[in-house]
Amino acid sequence: MFVLSAGRSGSTLLTRMLQQNDALCSVSEFWTSFLMQGFGDPVVSGARFWELLSVSPTWFGNFVAKARAAEAMPSEIIYDEARGRYRLEECPPLLTMTLPALTDDPDSLFDLLADEVPRWGLARVSAHAARLFSFLRGHFHRRLWVERSGLSYWYAPDMISAYPDARFVHLVRNGREVLLSMMGMRFFDPIVRFDWLTGRLEHPDRPVRRRIFFKHRNVARALMLRFADAERVVTGQHGRARPYSLPDRLDHGRQAHIYARFWAGSADLALQAMESLPPERLHVLRYEDMVDDPRGTLGDLMAFMLPGEDHVDWIERVAHMPRVQKGRWDDLDPEVARQVDEIIAPVNVRLGYG
């Protein structure tokens, strides 16, 4: 079972609620842990698969160090370095985000996986991932694994193609609030910068994003990683206070335009990927419904995940967790809001937001 979303849509909240259900092994930020190195579902050995999850690229340690210095550590980074063996700057990606959400002793779980996973043979990343999820489900004696990562939209074609029997929860939120939340979230900086740079190559007759997303994913992954590494050196990204983000010269209004195009483009491509899913394999979950009617919304969700079962006790335990938050849209400059709304409105309508 997978949860697909753009991120900043209530996915972390959903994970925290699912983690309190004893029937579920709720795996969070697994695809995020690849730092885009799993894009395109390449064929790798078990040893290489483990390396991708356990060795951080150089830039990521710098990203964490700068976030720490600014007191702006992303909420996805939950490893407790005071109790663990690693400093966050050197912490393996899987241990930084995913394993601490599963256990109070993530270092021991990491060691267990380090003994197991490198022995696996050659397979696609998706096959290794399914085996890892099943291993975790068995280890924690749960009946169903559920994976949720922020910005899993970018992995949607890989997942839908690789898991023909999997079911998907599509978690959506009004794009107005999503893009404004993204702007304050450092984890989106590298991918939004990359999207902005490649977006300058876009032409109606040369749809770069569409080709990257659907037709040339393995080539795109290699080019994306190499291009990003080179661009970071050439433009001095590593030394910036907020590295790998949009240029400082762009004002808030211009950055809002760029984030709007990023969100709308990502959502549009993910919606296209999901068109192949039959209704029985896709459940749409609106963040706003989860806040307004948590019991009814969570009841419908569990009917999709584990049909025919009674989860009333769990729903009562977690129904208090979704809370109304003040929107940020009305704080935008009216002219900026009008221009940004023109960008996101078509996709917002497709998601059910008039």
State residue 205's pLDDT score. 60
Tens digit of each residue's pLDDT (9 = 90 or more) over 280-326 = 999 999 999 999 999 999 999 999 999 999 999 999 999 999 998 88
Phi, psi of 158 (to 5 degrees): -65, -45
- Tokens in use for 157? 């074609």
Give the predicted TM-score (pTM) of the model: 0.95
- Give residue 232's identity as a one-letter amino acid code: R
Query: Long-range contacts for 165-168 (Cβ within 8 Å, ≥24 apart)?
Result: 166/1, 166/2, 166/281, 167/1, 167/2, 167/280, 167/281, 167/282, 167/283, 167/304, 167/305, 168/1, 168/2, 168/3, 168/4, 168/274, 168/277, 168/281, 168/282, 168/283
The CA-CA-CA angle for residues 39, 260, 324, to 5°, reads: 100
343 pLDDT exceeds 70?
A: yes
Contacts of 342 (CB under 8 A, 6+ apart): none
What is d(CA 240, CA 253) in angstroms, rounded to the nearest whole number? 21
Element counts in the chain: helices (H) and strands (E): 16, 7
pLDDT reading at 202 higher than 80: no
Tokens for 187, please give them: 């984890």
Among 128-132, 170-174, 195-199, where is mean pLDDT lowest?
195-199
Q: pLDDT tens digits, residue range 264-282?
A: 999 999 999 999 999 999 9
Predicted local distance difference test score (pLDDT) of residue 204:
59
The model's pLDDT over 138-196, given as tens digits with 9 standing for 90+, comes to: 999 999 999 999 989 999 999 999 999 999 999 999 999 999 999 999 999 999 999 89
Mean predicted lDDT score pLDDT of the chain: 94
pLDDT of residue 222: 86
Each residue's pLDDT tens digit, 204-245:
565 666 776 677 788 888 888 999 999 999 999 999 999 999
Per-residue pLDDT tens digits for 7-60:
999 999 999 999 999 999 999 999 999 999 999 999 999 999 999 999 999 999
- What is the pLDDT, as a whole number, of residue 52? 96
User: Quick one: pLDDT at residue 326?
Assistant: 87
**pLDDT score at 131:** 98
* pLDDT value of position 220: 82
Asked if residues 186 and 64 have their Cβ atoms less than 8 Å apart, the reply is: no
Query: Are 173 and 329 within 8 A, CB to CB?
Result: no
The predicted structure's pLDDT at residue 224: 85
* Paired tokens of 28: 């969070």
Three-state secondary structure call for residue 145: strand
Residue 189, pLDDT score: 97
Give the bridge partners for 172, in sequence order.
286
Fold of 2-350: Rossmann fold (3.40.50)
DSSP 194-259: HHHHHHTT-BTTB-HHHIIIII-HHHHHHHHHHHHHHHHHHTTGGGSSSTTSS-TTS-HHHHHHHH
* Phi, psi (deg, nearest 5) at residue 301: -65, -45
- Give the residue-averaged pLDDT of 86-108: 97
